[in-house]
Amino acid sequence: MNKIKIILALLVIAGISTSFKGADKVNIWLVGDSTMAAKKAERKPESGWGVELSDYVTGKAKVHNHAASGRSTKSFVDEGRWKTVKDSLKKGDYVVIQFGHNDEKPEPKLHTDAQTSFKDNLRNFVRETRDKGGIPIICSSIVRRHFDEKGNLVDSHGEYIEAAEEVARETNTFYVDMEKETRQLVIKLGMEKSKELYNYGKKDDTHLNHYGAGIVAGLFVKEIKYQQLELAKLFK
């Protein structure tokens, strides 16, 4: 009888141990646009840097990429995509937020004003993440590969980059300037070599290919480690 009790006790302990291991896994939720999103097979070799981020995490984390092509902060909320993420959040989860590419567009279903509605939407993402015990990280948009006739890389995001940084500062939220990081990379590579990062087979200067997405994901990880955020412990 004592042996049976011992066996049962060991089974209970093993079950508890397994449940704790599962609970230790930290979720990293990604919300953003096509530069971060996964793509359908017919769009290969186009990829989003959020897809390649999974290659950088340790076994203690899991990436949930909810970024979607053609979405702005407005449409992401209006379509219920943010609610899906918010309702899934657990204490200690991270939410990486990167919008701007489509917020700039004039279409009513997408457009937000950089200084008003765009900022308000970012603030809401931050507040609602924290309400669930999550940790928000705001990113600026990655750079578009737009060179002028003199070979200078042109700014195509305007106020949206500054707006993202301002919200991060005002709300005391971790901030990763992906526009700066990718701008420096594209300038370093130059007009021709930088084509290797983008889906240039289709003359696309906005979307990355798998190689470029991996490089850009690496820039994100590098900056997280440079800032010595707790999240860095979840990356290889």
Nearest Cα to Cα of residue 208 among 182, 188, 184: 182
Predicted TM-score (pTM) above 0.85: yes
Q: 56 and 219 in contact (C-beta within 8 Å)?
A: no
Which pLDDT does position 20 carry in this prediction? 37
What are the residue ranges spanned by the domains of the chain?
A: 25-234
Residue 57 confidence (pLDDT) above 50:
yes
Q: Distance between CA 51 and CA 67 in Å, rounded? A: 10
Residue 156 confidence (pLDDT) above 70:
yes
Residue 19 confidence (pLDDT) above 60:
no
Q: What architecture does CATH give domain 25-234?
A: 3-Layer(aba) Sandwich (3.40)
Nearest Cα to Cα of residue 215 among 193, 191, 232: 193
Confidence of residue 201 (pLDDT cuts 50, 70, 90): confident
Share of the chain above pLDDT 90, in %: 86
Q: 99 and 33 in contact (C-beta within 8 Å)?
A: yes
> Would you give the end-to-end CA distance of the chain in angstroms?
48
Residue 7 confidence (pLDDT) above 50:
no
Which pLDDT does position 22 carry in this prediction? 45
Residue 65 confidence (pLDDT) above 70:
yes
Residue 21 confidence (pLDDT) above 70:
no
Mean pLDDT calculated for residue range 21-30: 80
Which comes out higher in pLDDT, residue 18 or 74?
74
96-142 pLDDT, tens digit each: 999 999 999 999 999 999 999 999 999 999 999 999 999 999 999 99
Mean pLDDT calculated for residue range 151-156: 93
Which of 6-20, 77-91, 102-116, 156-170 is predicted with the least confidence, judged by mean pLDDT? 6-20
Q: Distance between CA 156 and CA 58 in Å, rounded? A: 35
